[in-house]
């Protein structure tokens, strides 16, 4: 193998480059990234960067030692027998696709912020001024974190959510409802069950009539995998690039990792696509090993976290496969968790200010241990002791 190309300049891209060199690949290595910046971490963008505590999240990589050609500010545009890019066609023996995802935007002629890149975060931060009217569309993970930062900056914040509760798409309405009081406690107006028709100059036009005036609009309604450039190629697209448990596409020598990859999970018996840092960090090592001739399986317990309104919210597993939910602790009394089970096995957990529960539960999910439901529901009993 003489030349490997990594398509994507985010965390998954740089970790792929590092993994290939660490595992002994000696050949030519090229990374193509759409942004002009070197790879950087995204989780701090909605937290420390928005709060003005951090301005640079560049990954600490030794590019000289990695001996990797960087083609930054160039997009991939197609895949035939070569990789088509705005820098010209690139031949390859191996290809790892890590093109990530792009934010969904609302219709309308008015300006709207999204939060995906370091430039997005810096531009939004400049608009978070004391007294500014900020409308956040979407009460998911990003919307809640943006609302947290905006409220701390002294803005007058309104969050508009189409569902009946925050985090409904992420953890379900019953659990999401327990986070709704956090908004009022932070001085944020939460308007749920309200759909936005368009973003106009001066604010939002609502689908049911009426409007919300705003000096700045932030759209946080999700992302789509960055795969449109692969339409017409021989790769299978199924809410992302369909790969097997070894992160292989149907084309020899071509792998996919990160937000754009939908991999087969033997644990959950379905294809998963997870848009979080943990996947971008760990999948590249498996893809690199298999590109170099290995047979490693990628089957993690998905994990992510969010800091919102003074709470640490963590999630592990995949709750749509579950048939039962159990509360652990009282949401009105402090730290708590919600646990999802499939039969007598733990499928997922979301914790609020209970990090130890999360760590122990994630291990139990990975090991597929049987759970004692009554012990799991008792917050005084360590989660690990609920799986004897």
Split at pLDDT 50, 70, 90, the class of 388 is confident
Architecture of domain 310-386: 2-Layer Sandwich (3.30)
Contact in structure between 268 and 321 (CB atoms under 8 Å): yes
Contact in structure between 336 and 329 (CB atoms under 8 Å): yes
Percent of the chain surpassing pLDDT 70: 100
The token pair that represents 33 in the structure block: 């990234």
pLDDT higher than 90, residue 332: no
pLDDT higher than 90, residue 121: yes
Residue range(s) occupied by CATH 3.30.390.30 in the chain: 310-386
Query: Other C-beta atoms within 10 Å of 339: how many?
Result: 27
**Residue among 32, 168, 167 at smallest CA distance from 100:** 32
* Mean of pLDDT over the chain: 97
pLDDT higher than 90, residue 341: yes
pLDDT for 208 equals 85
CATH topology of domain 3-102+223-291: FAD/NAD(P)-binding domain (3.50.50)
In the chain, where does DSSP find H-type helix? 11-22, 63-66, 118-127, 141-152, 168-171, 173-176, 180-185, 277-291, 355-367, 373-376
Split at pLDDT 50, 70, 90, the class of 333 is confident
Distant-in-sequence, close-in-space partners of 55: CB < 8 Å, separation ≥ 6: 49, 122
Distant-in-sequence, close-in-space partners of 190: CB < 8 Å, separation ≥ 6: 139, 159, 161, 166, 180, 183, 184
The token pair that represents 210 in the structure block: 């009426």
pLDDT digits (tens, 9 = 90+) for 246-284: 999 999 999 999 999 999 999 999 999 999 999 999 999
Residue range(s) occupied by CATH 3.50.50.60 in the chain: 3-102+223-291, 105-219
Split at pLDDT 50, 70, 90, the class of 334 is confident
CATH topology of domain 105-219: FAD/NAD(P)-binding domain (3.50.50)
């Amino acid at each position: 193998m003489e030349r490997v190309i990594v398509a994507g300049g985010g965390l998954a891209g740089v970790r792929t480059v590092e993994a290939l060199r660490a595992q002994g690949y000696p050949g030519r290595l090229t990374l193509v990234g759409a942004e002009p910046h070197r790879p950087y971490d995204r989780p701090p963008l909605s937290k420390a960067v928005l709060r003005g505590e951090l301005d640079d999240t560049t990954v600490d990589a030794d590019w000289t030692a990695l001996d990797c050609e960087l083609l930054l500010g160039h997009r991939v545009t197609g895949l035939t027998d070569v990789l088509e890019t705005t820098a010209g066609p690139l031949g390859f023996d191996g290809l790892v696709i890590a093109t990530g995802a792009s934010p969904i935007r609302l219709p309308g002629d008015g300006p709207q912020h999204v939060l995906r890149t370091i430039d997005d975060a810096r531009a939004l931060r400049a608009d978070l001024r004391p007294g500014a009217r900020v409308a956040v569309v979407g009460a998911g993970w990003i919307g809640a974190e943006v609302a947290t930062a905006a409220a701390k900056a002294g803005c007058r914040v309104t969050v508009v959510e189409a569902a009946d509760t925050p985090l409904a798409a992420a953890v379900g309405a019953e659990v999401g409802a327990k986070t709704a009081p956090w908004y009022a406690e932070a001085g944020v107006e939460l308007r749920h069950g309200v759909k936005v028709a368009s973003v106009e100059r001066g604010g939002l036009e609502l689908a049911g009539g009426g409007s919300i005036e705003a000096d700045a609009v932030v759209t946080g309604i999700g992302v789509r995998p960055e795969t449109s450039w692969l339409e017409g190629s021989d790769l299978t697209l199924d809410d992302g690039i369909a790969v097997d448990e070894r992160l292989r596409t149907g084309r020899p020598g071509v792998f996919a990792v990160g937000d754009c990859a939908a991999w087969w999970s033997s644990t959950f018996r379905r294809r998963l696509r997870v848009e979080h840092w943990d996947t971008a960090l760990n999948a590249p090592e498996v893809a690199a090993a298999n590109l170099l001739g290995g047979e490693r399986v990628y089957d993690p317990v998905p994990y992510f976290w969010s800091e919102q309104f003074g709470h640490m919210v963590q999630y592990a597993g995949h709750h749509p496969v579950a048939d039962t939910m159990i509360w652990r602790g009282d949401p009105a009394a402090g730290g708590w968790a919600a646990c999802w089970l499939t039969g007598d096995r733990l499928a997922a957990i979301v914790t609020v200010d209970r990090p130890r529960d999360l760590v122990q539960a994630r291990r139990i999910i990975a090991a597929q241990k049987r759970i004692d439901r009554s012990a799991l529901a008792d917050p005084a009993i360590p989660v690990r002791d609920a799986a004897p």
